[in-house]
A and B are shown apart, each in its own frame.
Chain A
């Protein structure tokens, strides 16, 4: 039992009496000592696929369906993808791979604390570990879509650029953004259930507002929105690198990473300050 510190003092608004840097030290210690727990929780989440035929491969169904849908919309001139130098499937799967890491991550993180209600209510379990572990599903979905992408490259006989090897690093910013949003929403969802209820709708709307399945238009309101959308940059730059090896908007990417880092640091503190109030409300 090395999870809990040997001496512990609980008092109201404990975190207010803790210094700024000590708060982050506490968070780091907590996360480090819960690595094994996170591993076990991810394993548990994965087990729910055991009783399904397609199992984790369900994650490929969605990209296939959306590609099919959009291609048929385009052929009837209902939907404009934009000018592409690559086959649409490659373009879409690369984008969707990152998008779904974000969207499924945010959705499962938001539900994570409520789904673990029994635990949070009865056992003093690290709630941060619960939220982080919920991203495991999204990460595994990502790796399966990555395998699909490799197959598509082979199919079209187009070689990806060497930048594809940088994928493990390229997913870090989008993971941090996902976790930041997930941390806040998971807590708020314990208090106000509307958040979980409205989320999948909002995420769908957001998908259409983010140029993932289409090329960013050169003008108009959609372009203006994308201009301030960090998710767009965090997806677009890796995609450009993998497909063409060139980047068209390095500044936007850098700013998005900066925004993500600030958000991550702040939301982590928010979660740490507020999580003790949650167990009784859940």
Chain B
């Protein structure tokens, strides 16, 4: 291994088994084979096995701070456990140079009856600190945790926050050559979190290689020079953090589309309404020429056509037309009553309602248009707008956050 790499993965794969019983059998099989001096059957998939990580090759330089991002279940934690040596690869090689410490779980191994002080020694030993090293660092750890007053209290009387603080404080003072950080920082209050992040940066500037797994993209963007994007056990992208984050938001947008099969085709299978008296036959977004459009540019008018079948006469229908994101239902919400528009009694028959949203300031991304219908005189909710919608896409680069688009100008001046 060239001297400047702290971590090198060479075609590394790791598999899991979905069946408990089979996994028992396979372990026995592999152990027996090993005892007879034969290789285990780890390179191929047996029944009920699947790759949790597949063919990962990467190199992390000494002193680098590398981010790892990816959707849930993409293999991030498995990767960290492989780096830490808790799991062994099924194919390929994991090479590391230097002592490794992992912030995978803070305070694992705390004993509830032991006091905070005793647990610091115990946990230090578990994390690999010798007696001498621990004695040198004990005061730093206590200061960092801010729990001086509670040191002689059994840990079982600690609050969750307190034990996590203590656990992190110990782990932060192991001063390894390679530090692996999993999602643990998401717990604890902002002040303590900042303290931890500062400590990680400090270790990094002293030469510690840091691998940082997080869903907190801001942190990744600020701290990491290079970021690895995992998806479904494969390394989807590796490179500069800003580029990795771009790939990630794109990936997330794609995943949301897959999640809703209606998606951009404008069709929605869910036709549940609250009333049999009305049916929404179709919702579609159209362009100026009246053709169905799935993609529009920023600030372009959005025209939506709703085809509605009334099976009986409805007195004073109130239509609500709204645009939402996957997470927020109504970021734009209009009703005909708001506009002082009354349709009187609508007789039975097939209607086409057209609503144009005038140059909405939506940031690029995927949106849904939904419709609700009430009968004003009775207050009856006739259509469940949540279940009936179409989607469209505002073209452009999807930002990490924000829903309103507006141009901006920047200036930094010293007063």
Q: Which residues of A contact B (CB under 8 A)?
A: 1-4, 6-16, 36-37, 39-41, 43-44, 47-48, 50-51, 116, 118-125, 187, 191-192, 270, 273-274, 276-281
In-complex Cβ contact of A191 among B27, B84, B122, B125 (8 A): B27
Q: Is the Cβ of B102 less than 8 Å from the Cβ of A124?
A: yes
Known A-B contacts A1-B175, A118-B109, A123-B109; A14 and B88 likewise in contact (beta carbons under 8 Å): yes
CB contacts (< 8 Å) of A44 on chain B: these are 111, 114, 122
Q: Is the Cβ of B24 less than 8 Å from the Cβ of A192?
A: yes
Q: Is the Cβ of B114 less than 8 Å from the Cβ of A47?
A: yes
Instruction: Known pairs A8-B96, A124-B100, A279-B81; list 20 more (Cβ under 8 Å).
Output: A1-B174, A1-B176, A4-B100, A7-B95, A7-B96, A13-B34, A15-B34, A40-B121, A41-B125, A118-B108, A119-B108, A119-B109, A119-B126, A120-B86, A123-B105, A123-B109, A125-B109, A279-B87, A280-B16, A281-B23
Indicate with 1 or 0, residue by residue over B65-87, a CB within 8 angstroms of chain A CB atoms: 00000000000000001101111
B27, B43, B125, B127, most chain A CB atoms within 10 A: B125
Q: Does B231 contact A (CB under 8 A)?
A: no
Q: Is the Cβ of A125 less than 8 Å from the Cβ of B113?
A: no
Q: Give the docked Cα–Cα distance between A281 and B31 (Å).
A: 13
Known A-B contacts A10-B88, A276-B88, A279-B86; A16 and B39 likewise in contact (beta carbons under 8 Å): yes
CB contacts (< 8 Å) of A118 on chain B: these are 105, 108-109
CB contacts (< 8 Å) of A120 on chain B: these are 86
Q: Is the Cβ of A1 less than 8 Å from the Cβ of B24?
A: no
Nearest chain B residue, comparing its CB with the CB of A279: B86
Q: Is the Cβ of B125 less than 8 Å from the Cβ of A40?
A: yes
B27, B84, B85, B122, most chain A CB atoms within 10 A: B27
CB contacts (< 8 Å) of B42 on chain A: these are 12-13
Q: Give the docked Cα–Cα distance between A119 and B125 (Å).
A: 12
Q: Give the docked Cα–Cα distance between A43 and B182 (Å).
A: 29
Indicate with 1 or 0, residue by residue over B122-146, a CB within 8 angstroms of chain A CB atoms: 1001111111010000000000000
Q: Is the Cβ of B101 less than 8 Å from the Cβ of A1?
A: yes
Q: Does B28 contact A (CB under 8 A)?
A: yes
Q: Give the docked Cα–Cα distance between A12 and B43 (Å).
A: 9
Q: Does B1 contact A (CB under 8 A)?
A: yes
In-complex Cβ contact of A124 among B16, B37, B84, B133 (8 A): B84
Q: Is the Cβ of A273 less than 8 Å from the Cβ of B88?
A: no
Q: Does B257 contact A (CB under 8 A)?
A: no
Known A-B contacts A12-B39, A13-B39, A15-B34; A6 and B108 likewise in contact (beta carbons under 8 Å): no
Q: How many residues of B contact A (CB 8 A)?
A: 58
Nearest chain B residue, comparing its CB with the CB of A269: B35
Q: Is the Cβ of A2 less than 8 Å from the Cβ of B130?
A: yes
- Which residues 343-377 of B sit at the A interface, judged by CB distance below 8 A? none
Q: Does B98 contact A (CB under 8 A)?
A: yes
Q: Is the Cβ of A280 less than 8 Å from the Cβ of B127?
A: no
Q: Is the Cβ of A274 less than 8 Å from the Cβ of B98?
A: no
Q: Give the docked Cα–Cα distance between A13 and B43 (Å).
A: 11
Q: Give the docked Cα–Cα distance between A6 and B176 (Å).
A: 11
B84, B111, B127, B128, most chain A CB atoms within 10 A: B128
Known A-B contacts A4-B128, A273-B34, A277-B30; A191 and B24 likewise in contact (beta carbons under 8 Å): yes
Closest CB-CB distance, A35 to chain B, in whole Å?
Answer: 9
Q: Is the Cβ of A50 less than 8 Å from the Cβ of B113?
A: yes
Q: Does B99 contact A (CB under 8 A)?
A: yes
A1, A3, A116, most chain B CB atoms within 10 A: A1
In-complex Cβ contact of B122 among A40, A270, A281 (8 A): A40
Q: Does B279 contact A (CB under 8 A)?
A: no
Q: Give the docked Cα–Cα distance between A192 and B21 (Å).
A: 9
Closest CB-CB distance, A4 to chain B, in whole Å?
Answer: 5
Nearest chain B residue, comparing its CB with the CB of A281: B27
CB contacts (< 8 Å) of B95 on chain A: these are 7-10
CB contacts (< 8 Å) of A39 on chain B: these are 125
A to B CB contacts below 8 Å, 21 in the list? A1-B174, A2-B130, A6-B98, A7-B95, A8-B95, A9-B93, A10-B85, A11-B89, A12-B39, A12-B90, A39-B125, A47-B111, A47-B113, A119-B108, A122-B102, A122-B105, A123-B102, A192-B28, A273-B35, A274-B34, A279-B81
